[in-house]
């Protein structure tokens, strides 16, 4: 253990012992001459402010700040493109309340109206749902876990096509088994 002794009498010592005064450094408010790491972003003539990107970053957990900044920027660029397209198509919108009674923003309503109008979601019948995936054994587009089809051992559940999914990593295997349980229970 150490003892710290402060001699307050030395504060009042003569100026000969301490001939100058300490003042805070002057505050420099001039813009930095250094290059900014995050350049301005413009979409169809509309500038997306750094402030808007900084506010959006909270919605994108990332391994590092740059990755989060890029993801937030990408999201705002896509949003601006959707808004531009909705305005180009002269889409009318109606602001709807959410389950808590809060009304959506005009921009959110415009994007929702665009998606409702332009995105066609196909309806699948039972036969389409049960049909094997084209290129059986290959991963569907966007899948990251390697898959291989293999016959099931033992009795198959009703409606099962006899193909099991085997995944190389434990998380994907857990998800695959959960999906299998859900499919069997449905």
pLDDT value of residue 160? 47
- Tens digit of each residue's pLDDT (9 = 90 or more) over 5-51: 666 665 555 555 656 666 766 766 666 565 556 778 999 999 999 99
3-state secondary structure of 142: coil
pLDDT in tens, 52-97: 999 999 999 989 888 999 999 999 999 999 999 999 999 998 999 9
List pLDDT tens digits, range 125-156. Answer: 888 888 887 765 555 555 554 444 444 444 44
Model confidence pTM above 0.85: no
**C-beta separation of 134 from 140 below 8 A:** no
Q: Quick one: pLDDT at residue 49?
A: 92
Task: In whole angstroms, give the CA distance from residue 27 to residue 39.
Answer: 25
- Cα–Cα dist 28/137, whole Å: 63
CB-CB neighbours of 10 under 10 Å: 9
Strand (E) or helix (H) holding 182: helix 170-185
Q: What is the pLDDT of residue 124?
A: 85
Give the pLDDT score at 148: 44
pLDDT of residue 18: 58
Copy the structure tokens of residue 185.
């229970």
Contacts (Cβ under 8 Å, ≥6 apart) of 30: none
pLDDT 10s digits, 155-176: 444 444 444 444 444 555 555 5
């Amino acid at each position: 253990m150490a003892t710290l002794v402060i001699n307050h009498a030395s504060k009042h010592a003569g100026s000969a012992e301490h001939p100058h005064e300490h003042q805070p450094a002057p505050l420099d408010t001039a813009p930095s001459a250094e290059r900014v790491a995050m350049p301005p972003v413009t979409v169809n003539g509309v500038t997306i402010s750094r402030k808007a990107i900084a506010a959006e970053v909270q919605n994108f957990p990332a391994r590092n700040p740059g990755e989060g900044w890029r993801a937030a920027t990408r999201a705002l660029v896509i949003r601006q493109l959707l808004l531009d397209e909705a305005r180009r198509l002269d889409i009318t919108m109606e602001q709807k309340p959410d389950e808590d009674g809060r009304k959506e923003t005009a921009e959110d309503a415009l994007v929702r109206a665009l998606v409702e109008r332009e995105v066609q979601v196909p309806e699948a019948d039972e036969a389409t749902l049960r049909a094997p995936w084209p290129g059986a054994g290959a991963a569907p587009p966007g899948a990251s876990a390697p898959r291989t089809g293999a016959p099931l051992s033992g009795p198959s559940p009703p409606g099962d096509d006899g193909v099991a999914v085997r995944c190389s990593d434990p998380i994907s295997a857990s998800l695959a088994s959960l999906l299998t349980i859900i499919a069997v229970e449905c």
